[in-house]
């Protein structure tokens, strides 16, 4: 880093990725800042800079050794930072830059045989709450929220009709007799749709209730879609329609004449029906007589967007539903939670795969909602929108949510 680049950092002040510290702090205080950065998105600690941005300079003669020892002795798992000293930031004053990348695991400060987890929030670091810690472990791939047992739920809270359809028709395997609770419990434990707890209880997993629950929202109030159709370009109290879409992800199917048909909608069908009745369909005559209807959006792109939101959302964020908003010129689907496991919008566009909820993904792929190759975004959303009206979907990560925007027409340029 050059002196000019460092001065620019200091001029901009402390933020989510930059912290100012004197080098007289204790090793534990430095470890705390570095752990918070590692558990967030990485960042830099500038040693020798006061809180107000004035340059005090470093005073330790062995500062690099001190930093590395703090990372080795006070942090678990250990961190190896990038370290450099920028000299003569001001006459006779040097600044040490300690840079940390986002960690692959969850780090904590180890002091007096006690571990403390820290996270970065704006310009401060603080101890992580239990919920924040669970989400952090999930983001790093250490915890799968979908496999948590739902205390209080039982086998009776799963729709056995849907389970029979899944195992017998979709997976083409034998299913237990409807009344054989012991056989069903064994099958569902082995497929992780039910979980045996440490106390010996057997309860439906989060995934089991989401996929096949008779009333998933009885236990998971946030497991649904808040759908609204607005008349204009912005949110408005005078919505054309509002609906709280609830129920299991999967539909109930029946086979008639050798062909499966939907008897009861799952959430995917509820959402696509909502879009269908709240978006325009234009009709044209082709070849002088044949009437051809054209929806405002390709249904396959809508379906893929909804399925991705349901399958990949962060179910540890319990305060909000998925939002499906229809405007005069676009559709927005907002899914709670950051993208998992290092995925970015740019990587999604190329078909990069990483599932937060692998069991949900596998089961929905069994039903044909998702491609096992993970190419749904480029093939169904990107290609579908381009062929339909020449627009490109917008994939936006915004704080603790992920938003997909599909436009009815290409935006005009002045």
Position 373 pLDDT exceeds 80: no
Report the pLDDT averaged over residues 190-219.
91
DSSP output for 3-53: HHHHHHHHHH--BTTEEEE-TTS-HHHHHHHHHHHHTTT-EEEEETB-TTS
pLDDT over 60 (residue 413): no
User: What percent of the chain shows pLDDT beyond 70?
Assistant: 94
- 344 is written with which tokens? 């970015």
Inter-CA distances, 144 with 29, 107, 147, 349, Å: 31, 18, 6, 25
pLDDT at 299 over 70: yes
pLDDT digits (tens, 9 = 90+) for 108-139: 999 988 999 999 999 999 999 888 888 788 77
How many Cα atoms sit within 13 Å of 394 on the Cβ side? 15
Mean pLDDT of all residues in 199-228 = 92
Strand partners, 262: 253
pTM of the model: 0.69
Round to whole Å and give the CA distance between 363 and 228.
28
Looking at residue 158, the DSSP 8-state letter turns out to be: B
Q: Which two tokens stand for residue 51?
A: 């809180």
| Integer Cα distance of 302 and 187 in angstroms | 34
Peptide bond into 173 cis (omega under 30): no
Mean pLDDT of the chain: 90
| 118 burial level (CB within 10 Å; 0-12, 13-18, 19+) | buried
Query: Which is it for strands 43-47 and 18-21: parallel, antiparallel or unpaired?
Result: parallel
For helices 299-312 and 267-277, angle between their N-to-C axes, nearest 10 degrees: 140
Give the per-residue pLDDT at 353.
67
Q: pLDDT band for position 287 (50/70/90)?
A: low
- pLDDT tens for each residue of 89-112: 999 999 999 999 888 788 999 998
Q: Residue 385: is its pLDDT beyond 70?
A: yes
Q: Of all residues in the chain, what percent carry a pLDDT higher than 90?
A: 67
**Token pair 């005090």 in the structure block, residue:** 56
Per-residue pLDDT tens digits for 142-193: 667 888 888 889 999 999 999 999 999 999 999 999 999 999 999 999 999 9
pLDDT, residue 256, reads 84
Q: Tell me what the mean pLDDT of segment 244-270 comes to.
A: 93
What pLDDT does 411 receive?
A: 54
Sign of the torsion formed by the C-alpha atoms of 54, 59, 65 and 66:
negative
Inform me whether the pLDDT recorded for 354 exceeds 80.
Answer: no
The answer to whether 6 touches 94, Cβ cutoff 8 Å, is no
Average pLDDT over residues 20-46: 94
Mean pLDDT on 356-385: 86
Residue with tokens 């986002």: 102
In the predicted model, what is the mean pLDDT of residues 63-85? 92
| Higher pLDDT among residues 321 and 346, named by residue | 321
pLDDT of res. 342: 67
Average pLDDT on 344-359 reads 79
- pLDDT score of 221: 87
Cα–chain-centroid distance for residue 373? 19
CA distances from 95 to 39, 91, 102 (A): 24, 11, 23
State the DSSP string of 45-98.
Answer: EEETB-TTS-B-----TTHHHHHHHHHHHSEES----EEEEEEEEETTEEEEEE
Region of poorest pLDDT, from 116-120, 251-255, 349-353, 408-412? 408-412
- pLDDT given at position 414: 43
Spatial CA neighbour of 71 closest among 94, 41, 45: 45
Q: Domains for the chain: give ranges and CATH numbers.
A: 3-128 (3.30.950.30), 146-218 (no CATH), 225-407 (3.30.565.60)
345 has a pLDDT exceeding 80: yes
Averaged over 10-32, what is the pLDDT? 95
Q: What is the predicted pLDDT for the residue at 144?
A: 77
Q: What does the pLDDT average to over 70-91?
A: 92
Whether the predicted pLDDT of 336 surpasses 80: yes
Confidence of residue 41 (pLDDT cuts 50, 70, 90): confident
């Amino acid at each position: 880093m050059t002196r000019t680049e460092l001065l620019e950092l200091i001029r901009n002040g402390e933020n989510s990725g930059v912290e100012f510290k004197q080098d007289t702090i204790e090793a534990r205080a430095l470890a705390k800042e570095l752990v918070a950065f590692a558990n967030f998105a990485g960042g830099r600690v500038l040693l020798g800079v006061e809180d107000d941005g004035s340059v005090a300079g470093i005073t330790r003669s062995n500062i690099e050794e001190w930093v590395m020892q703090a990372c080795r002795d006070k942090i678990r798992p250990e961190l190896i930072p990038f370290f450099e000293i920028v000299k003569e930031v001001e006459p006779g004053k040097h600044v040490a830059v300690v840079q940390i990348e986002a960690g692959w695991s969850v780090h904590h400060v180890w002091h007096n045989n006690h571990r403390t987890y820290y996270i970065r929030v704006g310009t401060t670091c603080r101890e992580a709450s239990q919920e924040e810690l669970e989400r952090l472990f999930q983001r790093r791939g250490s915890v799968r929220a979908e496999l948590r047992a739902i205390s209080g739920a039982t086998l009776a809270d799963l729709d056995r009709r849907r389970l029979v359809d899944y195992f017998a028709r979709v997976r083409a395997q034998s299913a237990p007799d409807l009344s054989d609770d012991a056989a069903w419990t064994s099958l569902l434990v082995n497929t992780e749709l039910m979980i045996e707890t440490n106390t010996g209880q057997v309860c439906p997993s989060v995934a089991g209730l989401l996929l096949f629950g008779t009333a998933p929202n009885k236990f998971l109030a946030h497991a649904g879609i808040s759908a609204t159709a607005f008349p204009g370009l912005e949110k408005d109290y005078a919505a054309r329609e509002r609906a709280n879409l609830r129920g299991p992800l999967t539909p109930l199917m029946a086979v008639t004449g050798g062909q499966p048909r939907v008897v009861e909608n799952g959430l995917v069908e509820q959402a696509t029906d909502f879009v269908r009745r709240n978006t325009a369909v234009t009709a044209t005559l082709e070849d002088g007589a044949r009437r051809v209807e054209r929806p405002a959006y390709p249904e396959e792109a809508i379906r893929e967007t909804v399925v991705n939101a349901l399958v990949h959302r962060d179910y540890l964020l319990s305060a909000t539903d998925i939002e499906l908003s229809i405007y005069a010129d676009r559709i927005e689907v907002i899914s709670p939670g950051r993208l998992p496991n290092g995925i970015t919008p740019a990587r999604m566009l190329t078909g990069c795969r990483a599932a937060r909820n692998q069991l949900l993904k596998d089961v929905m792929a069994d039903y044909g909602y998702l491609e096992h190759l993970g190419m749904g975004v480029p093939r169904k959303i990107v290609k579908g929108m381009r062929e339909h009206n020449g627009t490109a979907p917008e994939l936006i990560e915004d704080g603790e949510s992920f938003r997909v925007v599909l436009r009815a027409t290409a935006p005009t340029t002045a």
